[in-house]
Chains A and B, each alone.
Chain A
């Protein structure tokens, strides 16, 4: 996409305000997530909302779509004030549509059935659904916007990108005047992204506003008429089109917190023996030609945007997903990853989604810790209650799990304590290598600090760690070295230098020009 295509005819548009938020305050029992934020969207513009994780983007979106309610502040949409008590239904009725990350279409139904769900055209007299009319109306809608879809296709037969289009159509049929897209491109291919962009332009030409949320700077840069930057729950700036550049957005997102240790970190190389040697590994469609060495006691950070292939890389190295090409050596020997082999040879894995992938919620802390340690607890198939109890108490003590009761059900623990249990089931083992994917998502500050201390202590004791994180302060603070992935490849390695979150984000966004080093 060339520079000309961005923000076409933007100036010609009227500056009629469609959505206006003034002084929005939101707190979830205590911490303030949004602090007097002003925000507005013009009719017929593409407006991007950007900020680091935890800046307050999702909360603002949730308030606008009625998924949660604000504590204070005024919202006017389409000339009408929006009351404090405002539900998703109300938002939909007002003309606010959200294209969800996890799509909300019903599988097994056709495109037309999904578009007209709950508002199907009925036959006159006998009140049954007029299928013909419904398909025709859907096809008319599709043709009007020239979407590459058919009204009678079953949702299951569509790719993610085409399902997204069906969602957009559904919103259009609801006469939405504001369409919110939250990371819509995270699972799309390049050509699919281009198709989506064309459709976003088309929507703008129809005078529909698009509120675009993305971590991908080049997308924000190409699409946006204006950009609102949030940081730590506060409005930082609103950029008009002539001021929008990826570097400027990143500068505003990160802010001037350079004096803080957390975001300004001197990387010191660790030159111990190589534990893991990765050479040119590729997993088709996920990552390509990845090579690196991991040293003993080293924390290797993996940065990059959502969808850059970070999680896929650690999953493949742990042995969950196959590697299509390339070689891996572990402790000096050729190694073909498999989960069972990994666990037996001192490798551990802390997955990104704790609830879905990490814990057995209906079982006790003791049983959760036992499951990765069956080789110790039941070397000859029969479990030893005594050893199991010892391991559980050990894990609870080391990780400071609260309550310190091995028979407590893990599903009833707080997020932070659940994560400590996931950590504990590995820490009671003799580890050589630990993969950690987004260890502190949704965890309170206190538990976060404790988990950081564990990771650092583990590395100090000689365990090598590969840490995937979208939390930039976390990545800069913990890592000894950082690899940044972009579109499945290593685009940048940071070692033996001063690292800031801004540098990581610039690399992840594909900004190549060098930043002057403040060191």
Chain B
């Protein structure tokens, strides 16, 4: 039962490799640069959102307001640029700031009023959706300018779509913060045992508030990328994506009770789900069957990880 600390990522890599071999044998179209790029591209948004959403999750909480937040911030950035005439750079920075502030508010309620994060962010998901409806007047709006803004989502660098770089940077930074900084240690400690963390000099409330703030900021980044990528904004633009993010986190080995997790694992998890869906498409299996397969995969991943958690807690209880 020891030396398990990093094995989830390695297991996932092995599964991914196996999946790739199987899919390339099943379909000649699979192992093409275009197809692979498409798969990774499709998980960009999940990757960006996971890089922040993992913090509340590791503290033992959850941020379910991601989807509404991304849609709302997409609408806001459009307002700033195309209705208020702001330059696209300050517009984006302001939007991220707004996302961070909403996250801060979520975190404050979770930490100080001690309400379960599930309820707090579920409420936020709902009222943020409402605010998005009001601000957008319930309409779907196309974004046709400015050009540099649209380049963020649709442009390419060295043949790869821009969002892939953005996601890679965010995931790398997030993984670095979690593994290599004092703050990351504190986040893990709060999730593993809040009281022990507090007695060891960690301020759990502060760590929680910062965690939700980060999640809010990455949700806003996700919202900006989504708006730029799809060139349109509307209140339901990212509806339900929080569940894809939670799926990626679970498959990636983030503990459902907090205390441990990995952004890289989450990204691998998201890619795995995308590969499976891609494979089903390539094999011409009709879309209604896809959720059955992905749901089963989530369950299997959970059972695998759960076994691991049991091993960790089982003997310890004595």
Contact = CB atoms under 8 A, between A and B. Distances in A.
Interface in A310-365: 318, 320, 339-340, 342-343, 349, 351, 356-364
B201 interface: yes
A360 B192 contact: yes
A363 B313 contact: no
B157 interface: no
Given A382-B180, A383-B181, A357 B199 contact: yes
B315 interface: yes
Interface string B179-192: 01111111011001
B2 A408 contact: yes
Interface stretch (A128-136, A371-379, A502-510): A371-379
Contacts of A349: 199
Interface string A385-412: 0000000000000000000010111011
A413 B315 CA distance: 8
Interface in B167-208: 180-186, 188-189, 192-193, 195-203
A360 B189 contact: yes
Interface residues of A, number: 35
A124 interface: no
Interface residues of B, number: 33
Nearest to A364: B5
Contacts of B255: 362
A372 B183 CA distance: 13
Contacts of B192: 360-363
A339 B204 CA distance: 12
A362 B188 CA distance: 10
A334 to B, nearest CB: 21
Contacts of A377: 182
Contacts of A80: none
B182 A383 contact: yes
Given A339-B198, A340-B203, A412-B315, A367 B188 contact: yes
A320 B197 contact: no
A382 B184 CA distance: 9
B259 interface: yes
B200 A371 contact: yes
A411 B308 CA distance: 13
Given A360-B193, A409-B2, A371 B202 contact: yes
A320 B189 CA distance: 17
A372 B312 contact: no
Contacts of A370: 185
Contact of B196 (A318, A340, A359, A378): A359
B201 A412 contact: no
A361 B257 CA distance: 13
A190 interface: no
B201 A407 contact: no
A407 B181 contact: no
B181 A381 contact: yes
Interface centre among A342, A381, A405, A412 (most CB of B within 10 A): A412
Interface centre among A342, A362, A382 (most CB of B within 10 A): A362
Contacts of A320: 198-199
A378 B179 CA distance: 12
A357 B182 contact: no
Contact of A360 (B3, B184, B197): B197
Contacts of A360: 188-189, 192-193, 196-197, 259
21 contacts: A340-B201, A342-B201, A351-B195, A357-B195, A357-B196, A359-B193, A360-B189, A360-B193, A362-B260, A363-B188, A363-B189, A363-B192, A364-B5, A367-B185, A370-B185, A381-B181, A383-B180, A383-B182, A383-B184, A407-B5, A412-B316
Interface of A: 318, 320, 339-340, 342-343, 349, 351, 356-364, 367, 370-372, 374, 377-378, 381-383, 405, 407-409, 411-413, 425
